[in-house]
């Protein structure tokens, strides 16, 4: 009887987790913008999106400069770069305003950013659960990247060590931009 109860509880938990996401693709999520208020990813439906979990006090933090350059270079062709600050690795400020001020002052970040979010562990946001399920697993560290294709369902993950100017990432972005919109 105990094993049936445990299985039922696990199944219920799985349904709740699946029910949280309910989005059929990455563009079906609504997040909080770093400035406050809603950030509807549906506004970028049909555009490739590079989602990066970020942190202000990490050895990879200088990647902000490369992400901004990618955004400036490929935005006219449709690429969206989305920064997602997270304190999951204990290297981020405690509030959105401080994160935004740092990004603005230090790296002149113009690409959209979400509010602080859990990207791994038991409190993982459903958006990051969606990305990790389709893009090779959860982030192991800050500046993990997920390239979401135009269809919003195809996701390719890139580890933190893959910088914004790494040929493999640039080629994947070029390929995603060249793909026909569905």
CB distance 139 to 110 below 8 Å:
no
Give the residue among 126, 127, 114, 151 at the shortest CA–CA distance from 37. 114
Distance between CA 138 and CA 21 in Å, rounded?
A: 16
The single residue of 58, 65, 162, 177 carrying the catalytic annotation is: 58
- Residue 38: strand pairing partners: 32
Rounded CA-CA distance 89/11 in Å is: 29
Q: Among residues 144, 175, 177, which one has the least CA distance to residue 159? A: 144
Q: What angle do CA 80, 141, 132 make, to 5 degrees?
A: 60
Task: Tell me, yes or no, if 58 is annotated catalytic.
Answer: yes
What is the rounded CA–CA span in Å between residue 43 and residue 47? 9
Catalytic residues: 58
């Amino acid at each position: 009887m105990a094993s049936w109860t445990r299985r039922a509880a696990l199944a219920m938990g799985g349904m709740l987790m699946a029910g949280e996401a309910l989005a059929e693709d990455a563009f079906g999520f609504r997040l909080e913008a770093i400035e406050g208020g809603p950030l509807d990813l549906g506004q970028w439906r049909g555009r490739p999106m590079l989602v990066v979990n970020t942190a202000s006090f990490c050895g990879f933090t200088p990647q902000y400069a490369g992400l901004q350059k990618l955004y400036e270079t490929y935005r006219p062709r449709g690429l969206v770069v989305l920064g997602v600050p997270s304190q999951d690795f204990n290297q981020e400020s405690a509030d959105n305003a401080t994160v935004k001020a740092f990004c603005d002052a230090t790296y002149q970040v113009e690409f959209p950013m979400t509010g602080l979010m859990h990207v791994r562990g038991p409190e993982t946001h459903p958006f990051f659960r969606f990305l990790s399920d389709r893009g090779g697993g959860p982030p192991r560290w800050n500046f993990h990247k997920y390239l979401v294709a135009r269809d919003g369902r195809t996701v390719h993950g890139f580890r933190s060590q893959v910088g914004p100017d790494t040929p493999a990432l640039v080629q994947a972005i070029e390929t995603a931009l060249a793909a026909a919109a569905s």
